[in-house]
Amino acid sequence: LNVMEIRSNNRRLNESKHLRRKVVFVDPDDPDAPHWWPALYPGEGESLVCYFEDGSYSIVPEKDQKPFDPKIEPYTTYMEGPNSEAFQKDKAVTLATLYFEKGVVPPVFKWIRNEDTSGANVSTSIPGSNGNNLSDGPNAGDEDSTIVTKRHVRKESANN
């Protein structure tokens, strides 16, 4: 350890617990896992977000977020602005709009497993996709299939 690391560690020990971020154990959803996984909450004024484009995550300050709604700014500005064509063709925008308006969860959000209490299977295709299922993409033929219900989507898997 160098001097800076020791000072940093000493400062951490002297820091009051209420200033530290919350540490939790998270169920790994794997019956064979030897233990639950330690995890850290985002700080105050921050949110953990998952991107529609690729399912990646990041922590974003709340001041750098705006509501996503096709009826209000900044969505309406992007739809009419100089880059409107690129905005309208953007994969993430399309997926987010579809989720916002219809509740269709993109396949990249594998972590969403909620289901409608009725268990009704309302639709498995994207409107305007000529009946193509969400699972007819690059992962077609996988053991998992995406099911859209009245409120949510769940992943059904032969492994569950």
What is the pLDDT at residue 91?
96
Q: What is the pTM of this model?
A: 0.56
Residues of the chain with confidence (pLDDT) below 70: 1-19, 113-160
Q: Where are the domains of the chain?
A: 106-160
Taking only the tens place, the pLDDT of each residue in 77-101 is 999 999 999 999 999 999 999 999 9
Distance CA 122, CA 76 (A): 30
What is the pLDDT at residue 155?
38
Helix residue spans in 15-132 (DSSP H): 75-80, 84-89, 91-102
Residue 141 gets the label, from left (phi > 0), alpha (psi -120 to 50) or beta, of left
What is the pLDDT at residue 10?
54
What is the pLDDT at residue 61?
95
Residue 108 has which token pair? 């990249």
DSSP 40-64: EPPPTTEEEEE-TTT--EEEEEGGG
What is the pLDDT at residue 6?
57
What is the pLDDT at residue 66?
97
Give the chain's length: 160
Measured at the CA of 37, the angle between CA 35 and CA 42, to 5 degrees, comes to 160
What is the pLDDT at residue 160?
36
What is the pLDDT at residue 69?
98
